[in-house]
Chain A
Amino acid sequence: MSVENSKPHRVVVATVNGRDESPVTASLLPTSSAPLATLYGRPLLSNQGIPLHLDWVKQVRVNTSAVERRQQSHVARRTVKKDWQAAWLLRAITCMDLTTLSGDDTDERVRRLCAKARRPILYELVKGLGIEDLNLQVAAVCVYHRFVETARRALEGSSVRVAAVSTGFPAGLSPLPERVAEIRRSVEAGAQDIDVVITRAHVFGGRWQELYDEIAAFKQASGAAHMKVILGTGDLLTLRNVARASFVAMMAGADFIKTSTGKEPTNATLPVGFVMTRAIREYAQETGMAVGFKAAGGIRTAKQSIEWLALMKEELGGSWMKAELFRLGASGLLNDIERQLEHHATGRYSADYRHPIA
């Protein structure tokens, strides 16, 4: 191992905005904003990014089969029952990015989705569960740029955010200026979350600087909008690649790191989730900054949403069980959660046609 690796976890943040070169740890950085999260009792700020630390990226070690065993035992070690299960499912709804990303999307279809986002479960169910005061809504509606405007209007007056997939989603292979321009257009159209995709080729080629620069450019274009960086984990294939890409994305200023586009052969898997959340934890511990996590693609059942929430609780803690730092990107998931909640309220198994579709 290199000399740097012998002290692997003492990353000194040289700068927040590129000016200050004096070595100060991030936790000592002056700030005006309130902490975004806490990790093991330590307050964390939102991610400002740090210079690319190649040593950190290169020393990443992930043992795939050990991570898989962790995942297998995780789903057997944790479960929630009865009222707790209902509460967790409700929480999953509030962390949901209700998504439609199809070639046949229309304005009407998006408006329907937005209506569902504002009122994700039946009023009778809200009453039955005694949660009227929660004013339950999903976290965001996620659409292509073309529908940002539509969604923004449809969601006016609600707490639901508008998320736009961007940068040549899902492949991310259009020219960089166009991808950056696409972000700007979506932000101007009112998108509060921007889901960008990385150039997977940079990961395969180990071109970390190029990857870093690309994401940093996206970040700059996103401005005040939250940038979620989609790693395309189903394409990256190895967990080691996932971990490396996670660190580069966070260093380049990602507000969230996100598993997949939903278009890859395999999407959000729990082993990938473990690797990405562990990277988030390590980054937070070293820099004092919190990065969110979004699992997207393939999450269809209420049970899965609880497994993901439990993963966040185990690896990162309560701050990452809220929409500020955790999202579930899904389209069909909500319907299964509704059915489970109805079962909880009535004691009878439910049917999907009993719940209004999106």
Chain B
Amino acid sequence: MSIAEKFVAMEYGPAPEDSKDALAWLDHHQRRFGHFMHGAWVKPSAGAYFDTADPSTGEKLASVAQGSAADIDAAVKAARAALPKWQALTPHVRARYLYALARQVQKHSRRLAVLETMDNGKPIRESRDLDIPLVARHFYYHAGWAQLLLQEFPDYTACGVVGQIIPWNFPLLMLAWKIAPALATGNTVVLKPAEFTPLTALAFAEICHEIGLPAGVVNIVTGDGSTGEALVKHPDVDKIAFTGSTEVGRAIRSSTAQSHKRLSLELGGKSPFIVFEDADLDSAVEGLVDGIWLNQGQVCCAGSRLLMQESIVEPLIAKIRARMSTLRVGPPLDKAIDIGAIVARVQLDRIQRLVNQGVADGATCWQPPMEMPSRGLYFPPTLLSNVHPTSIVAQQEIFGPVLAAMTFRTPSEAVELANNTVYGLAACVWSESINVALDVSAQLKAGVVWVNCTNLFDASCGFGGYRESGYGREGGKEGLLEYLEPAWFKNATALPAAKPAPPEASNDETESATPALDIDRTVKLYIGGKQARPDSGYSMEVRSNRGQLIGEVGLGNRKDIRNAVEAAHKASGWARTAAHNRAQILYYMAENLSQRRREIEHRLAAAVGEPQATAEVSASIERIFSYAAWTDKFEGAVHNPPFRSIAIAMNEPMGTVGIICPREAPLLGFLSLLMPAIAAGNTAIVVPSETYPLITGDLYQLFDTSDLPGGVVNIVTGYASQLLKTLAEHDDVDAIWCFADEGSAFAAKSFSTGNLKQVFTNEGRVIDWFDVKQGEGRWFLQHATQVKNIWVPYGE
């Protein structure tokens, strides 16, 4: 075609990014990579390799080592060996290493971008303008935290050796999200990149070597799912951080349940993209381009469920179709391509299968007429309209460039539909009304809400999901806490395994001479603000510390837990009660407890002896006061990402929390867990300690007389081990807190796998509830809340 003909056609023409340097780098390594451990390249112990290919051409790029359990073991040993020296460095020295990593990533940014695009299939524009700059930013940001570690986290210590498993959709970016906070907080790392996209992680390994990072601090082991499994199961790994599918996340939760491994999971999503009738529709359409059509839709937080207000369906769909027609699908190394190749055949097949199912479910499928590349793995941008919540494409994560469109009538229906999912990763809200946008943002169950924007990321803003989208956050201060533990907690000793005290008659004359207190006092369960008889119709004996029968409480069962959870949900308005008012109620409780301290002390003394009873009541009053003080002070933050935007980080309550109380301090332990939960706005179902469950009777009188709304606190007495199972398994409970022996902690983790509820335990360790440093404060409040980042760009 001559220039004159091109002048007539006015097409874009090819604009290929040069791949010479990246290919030369691969050749320099003979297109074959071992694992990177202890600062050197190591051949796989079993000698096995697998190929990684360019999905846009099918051409093999390199062979990489298939990691075995032995390789993982060697890498973990290298990380363990490196840990003492790494932790002995000053924070400033660690900060310099992170800074050097950021600089080196920037210096080689184009090679990394080209390599990423070749291995993954994403457009070079994205790897060049989004992925790699965010990688550098993440290391810079965390170099800062490394520097400030002692000032900002004085009483914390690193987890230790961290196993990290990352996905193929943002390979190097996810590596940065994992490695930067781990190193900044003084951990050492074994990272397994995704099977489909190992190359940039290997290039990063070389960067670690280039900047002289101490050997063993970062170890990269390549391989498939079995390699990841070996890492997850390795006994000498202190923490697992995983990003990937909810299915695998659940398996990891399950297989780490019988261990003390910390766990953070960043899992799937089916994020709503809500467009109100007063939105800038053209901009909302561009939001979709940056959302579901970013990275071929292979984005966990992609706005894949379009929710449109009924009044704008027609124009919005027309605008979306028009815009889809101008998207360019093609070779990802072309600088003017919007949609590149799907990472692998298996993923392409999955997308097609789900789209077919969606159509079978009644959806209308529309794809713009466009020429698709003749080779390589491509899927055209796809719009499924007439989708209903019942359709599989409205529920399942497709992980492809497929938008499922639905309608709503009112803001409240939009929220209802948006939250009608097991996921809770991200959401977009498009409206020119700040009232609508912020009101809806606050109600969405999602870790990130983008107002009039999509897929904005920054190292300073935590990212992570509610519900089955995972545990924990990556980025921001909250992200660092995933790699830190309170120093005292790490060194705490294990509690002895719980054994129910055998009922034995006391020989103590003075004790038996005292008439047993309240033997005919009927302590019931407390559900929905009312005393309730146990469903079972049975009671459980309560004995003094000397074995004497001092009373009976209801024997709660599954149905009582069910009722309590329902009551707790009905009281969810507690979260929206002004913090000042919640604080007032807590103070009132402290007042009332103080009023009745003598009688409660007296009764409690039968179970724990008089000195402890006195101390517990005093400490309890103080603890309630403390959380009353915290109620309106455990506030969020306002981030200033490097855009003209604010990101409001809100500490939101988990929702409904199930609490298994510690045996050691029946009153203080109960209140030390309940108070942070309700101070943060949660509702709770509490199982009191079997040591002295009679405390229930005193506590519900306390709650009733302190204006605590019914259902905010529900108490079910009974055998903790049985009630724990029902509570931890309950799909409508958002978090389970279990403070008992090790077996109970493991059980809480195991039973919670179903809905991936957040688990907070003492890991079976001793907590000194009387010690303010251990028994109260931010550590508890952090577990009572989850951070939601609401991004609000501004400007007129």
Partner of A77, one of B125, B279, B281: B125
Partner of B7, one of A63, A64, A131, A310: A131
Q: Check if B336 sits within 8 Å of A86, measured CB to CB.
A: no
Q: Which of B297-317 contact A (CB under 8 A)?
A: 311-312, 314-315
C-alpha gap A226/B13 in the complex (Å): 33
Q: Check if B796 sits within 8 Å of A77, measured CB to CB.
A: no
With a cutoff of 8 Å between Cβ atoms, the chain A residues found around residue B281 in the complex are: 61
Question: Does any Cβ of A come within 8 Å of B290's Cβ?
Answer: yes
A130 smallest CB distance to B (angstroms)? 6
Q: Which of A106-126 contact B (CB under 8 A)?
A: none
C-alpha gap A1/B15 in the complex (Å): 45
Q: In this complex, what residue of B is CB-closest to A70?
A: B286
Q: Which 3 A-B pairs have the closest CB atoms?
A: A84-B13, A66-B283, A87-B6
Q: In this complex, what residue of B is CB-closest to A94?
A: B7
Interface hub of B287, B315, B644 (most chain A Cβ within 10 A): B315
The interface size bin for chain B is 35 or more
C-alpha gap A65/B792 in the complex (Å): 10
Q: Check if A87 sits within 8 Å of B286, measured CB to CB.
A: no
Q: CB-CB contacts of A295-321 with B at 8 A, as 1s and 0s?
A: 000000000000001100110001001
C-alpha gap A90/B644 in the complex (Å): 37
B236 smallest CB distance to A (angstroms)? 45
Q: Check if A69 sits within 8 Å of B10, measured CB to CB.
A: no
Known: A63-B432, A65-B645, A69-B290. A78 touches B7 (CB 8 A): no
Q: Check if B13 sits within 8 Å of A83, measured CB to CB.
A: yes
Q: Check if B311 sits within 8 Å of A1, measured CB to CB.
A: yes
B718 smallest CB distance to A (angstroms)? 55
With a cutoff of 8 Å between Cβ atoms, the chain B residues found around residue A133 in the complex are: 4
With a cutoff of 8 Å between Cβ atoms, the chain B residues found around residue A6 in the complex are: 277, 311
Interface hub of B282, B290, B315, B338 (most chain A Cβ within 10 A): B282
Q: Check if A65 sits within 8 Å of B7, measured CB to CB.
A: no
Question: Does any Cβ of A come within 8 Å of B3's Cβ?
Answer: yes
Main secondary structure of the interface of A (DSSP, over half): helix
A123 smallest CB distance to B (angstroms)? 16
Partner of A40, one of B11, B322, B645, B793: B322
Question: Does any Cβ of B come within 8 Å of A265's Cβ?
Answer: no
With a cutoff of 8 Å between Cβ atoms, the chain B residues found around residue A1 in the complex are: 277-278, 311
- Residue pairs across A and B with Cβ atoms less than 8 A apart, 13 shown, are A5-B277, A61-B432, A63-B283, A63-B432, A65-B645, A67-B280, A68-B795, A70-B283, A81-B14, A87-B9, A90-B3, A91-B10, A130-B2
Partner of A69, one of B7, B9, B286: B286
With a cutoff of 8 Å between Cβ atoms, the chain A residues found around residue B326 in the complex are: 313-314
Question: Does any Cβ of B come within 8 Å of A28's Cβ?
Answer: no
Q: Check if B11 sits within 8 Å of A84, measured CB to CB.
A: yes
Q: Check if B7 sits within 8 Å of A62, measured CB to CB.
A: no
Partner of B13, one of A61, A81, A238, A239: A81
Interface hub of A1, A69, A90 (most chain B Cβ within 10 A): A69
With a cutoff of 8 Å between Cβ atoms, the chain A residues found around residue B290 in the complex are: 69, 73
Q: Which of B780-796 contact A (CB under 8 A)?
A: 793-796
C-alpha gap A274/B285 in the complex (Å): 13
Q: Check if B277 sits within 8 Å of A78, measured CB to CB.
A: no
Q: Check if B10 sits within 8 Å of A87, measured CB to CB.
A: yes
Q: Check if A8 sits within 8 Å of B315, measured CB to CB.
A: yes
A95 smallest CB distance to B (angstroms)? 11
Known: A40-B325, A61-B280, A65-B795. A130 touches B3 (CB 8 A): yes
B460 smallest CB distance to A (angstroms)? 18
Question: Does any Cβ of B come within 8 Å of A76's Cβ?
Answer: yes
Q: In this complex, what residue of A is CB-closest to B283?
A: A66
Q: In this complex, what residue of A is CB-closest to B5?
A: A87
Q: Check if B283 sits within 8 Å of A134, measured CB to CB.
A: no
Partner of A84, one of B6, B284, B335: B6
B108 smallest CB distance to A (angstroms)? 20
B227 smallest CB distance to A (angstroms)? 36
Interface hub of A66, A87, A133, A285 (most chain B Cβ within 10 A): A66
Question: Does any Cβ of B come within 8 Å of A129's Cβ?
Answer: yes
With a cutoff of 8 Å between Cβ atoms, the chain B residues found around residue A202 in the complex are: none
Q: CB-CB contacts of A70-82 with B at 8 A, as 1s and 0s?
A: 1001001111111
C-alpha gap A187/B280 in the complex (Å): 39
With a cutoff of 8 Å between Cβ atoms, the chain B residues found around residue A82 in the complex are: 13
Q: Which of A1-26 contact B (CB under 8 A)?
A: 1, 5-9
Question: Does any Cβ of A come within 8 Å of B129's Cβ?
Answer: yes
With a cutoff of 8 Å between Cβ atoms, the chain B residues found around residue A274 in the complex are: 282
Q: Check if A88 sits within 8 Å of B10, measured CB to CB.
A: yes
Question: Does any Cβ of A come within 8 Å of B453's Cβ?
Answer: yes
Question: Does any Cβ of A come within 8 Å of B452's Cβ?
Answer: yes
C-alpha gap A243/B490 in the complex (Å): 61
Q: Check if A79 sits within 8 Å of B286, measured CB to CB.
A: no
Q: Check if A90 sits within 8 Å of B7, measured CB to CB.
A: yes
Q: Which of A276-296 contact B (CB under 8 A)?
A: 278, 285
C-alpha gap A63/B451 in the complex (Å): 11
C-alpha gap A60/B314 in the complex (Å): 17
Q: Check if A76 sits within 8 Å of B129, measured CB to CB.
A: yes
Q: Check if B7 sits within 8 Å of A134, measured CB to CB.
A: yes
Q: In this complex, what residue of B is CB-closest to A341?
A: B3
Q: In this complex, what residue of B is CB-closest to A240?
A: B796
Q: CB-CB contacts of B112-128 with A at 8 A, as 1s and 0s?
A: 00000000000001000
Q: Which of B739-796 contact A (CB under 8 A)?
A: 793-796
Interface hub of A40, A65, A88 (most chain B Cβ within 10 A): A65
